[in-house]
A = this chain, B = another copy of it.
């Protein structure tokens, strides 16, 4: 089958509400700084009522990554569930406007489109409270084999491990991808997600996954250790490629016994770290899909992450293809 897409991603279709917040606000709201907390509709409304004025922008971890792939000039597809409401239309518009394929039927007469309230503290750190709404209604039925089989890399968002039906959809997608000889990538998404689904994730990695994205918190949580290097080594024993980010300290890319330390790109001021990991994954996978060596893939990831943390919002504001060209990548 023709490779129509560099990356096809499955993730939660979410619209972000981004607002500035104080550290005191996080304490008052019992929020764990830097994490993603799932909230129900009632709690969601209470948090929103207490938040500062915000800006709405299409988000969702894998959705952001797809926007990054498109910005690099890659071909991308997204699979995820919105509702038929205004925010669902916003998400759909933004996905199609970047040129990505997005054709998952919206959920009608059910829960609203997922919303993630992102409180950004003055240090640029984002703390997320997410109401998953319609996005949890993504099922195996929504897996379009034609899209999965036509993608060089099938990328799965770890957050979906929270929804039973979506986990089954992952298994279906992974099966289709493997049968077509496609590469399967996953991001661990969040330390708490890893904590909630450690065994299932480990089993899935060992049997289905080629490439894993994680940050330092997630990888050490996965192997229940405080030793970062040991955790990366353990991850490498399970998958072909591990790309593990460490915030301002850059990332480590490990594969087939080789390990590359990739520095972070310097930024003038960190405004909002939302989407840093998502854009790292975008740069990395775009590099991989276009045949770059692994250290260059890591550099493309670092570059994309540096762009997104220098402004509010989870998706690139500049053309990443042009930005990469100016950096000789």
- CA–CA, A55 and B98, complex, Å: 13
Inter-chain contacts of A85 with B (CB < 8 A): 85-86
Q: How many copies are assembled?
A: 2
Q: Which residues of B lie under 8 Å from residue A313 when comparing CB positions?
A: 55
A41 to chain B, nearest CB (A): 13
A 94-119 contacts with B by CB, 8 A: 94, 97-98, 112
Q: Which of A46-54, A73-81, A184-192, A213-221 contacts B (4 or more CB under 8 A)?
A: A46-54
Task: Give complex CA distance A56, B112 in Å.
Answer: 17
Residue A67 lies at the interface, judged by CB distance under 8 Å to chain B: yes
Q: Is B56 touching A55 in the complex (CB atoms < 8 A)?
A: yes
Say yes or no: B52 contacts A55, CB within 8 Å.
no
Distance (whole angstroms) from the CB of A163 to the closest CB of chain B: 22
Residue-wise interface mask of A (37-67) relative to B, using a CB-CB cutoff of 8 A (1 in contact, 0 not): 0000000000011011111111000000001
A94, closest chain B residue (CB): B53
- Is A315 interfacial (CB 8 A cutoff)? yes
B93 near A49 (CB under 8 angstroms)?
yes
Q: Is A4 an interface residue (CB 8 A)?
A: no
In-complex Cβ contact of A93 among B53, B57, B67, B94 (8 A): B53
* A55→B57 contact, CB < 8 A: yes
Q: Report yes or no: B53 in contact with A56, Cβ–Cβ below 8 A.
A: no
**Contact call A53/B315, Cβ cutoff below 8 A:** yes
C-alpha spacing A54/B87, complex, angstroms:
12
Residue A90 lies at the interface, judged by CB distance under 8 Å to chain B: yes
Residues from chain B with Cβ under 8 Å of A57 in the complex: 55-56
Closest residue on chain B to residue A45 by CB atoms: B89
Question: Are A53 and B97 in contact, CB atoms less than 8 angstroms apart?
Answer: yes
What are 9 A-B pairs with beta-carbon distances under 8 A? Answer: A19-B97, A48-B93, A51-B93, A52-B97, A53-B67, A54-B93, A54-B94, A56-B57, A85-B86
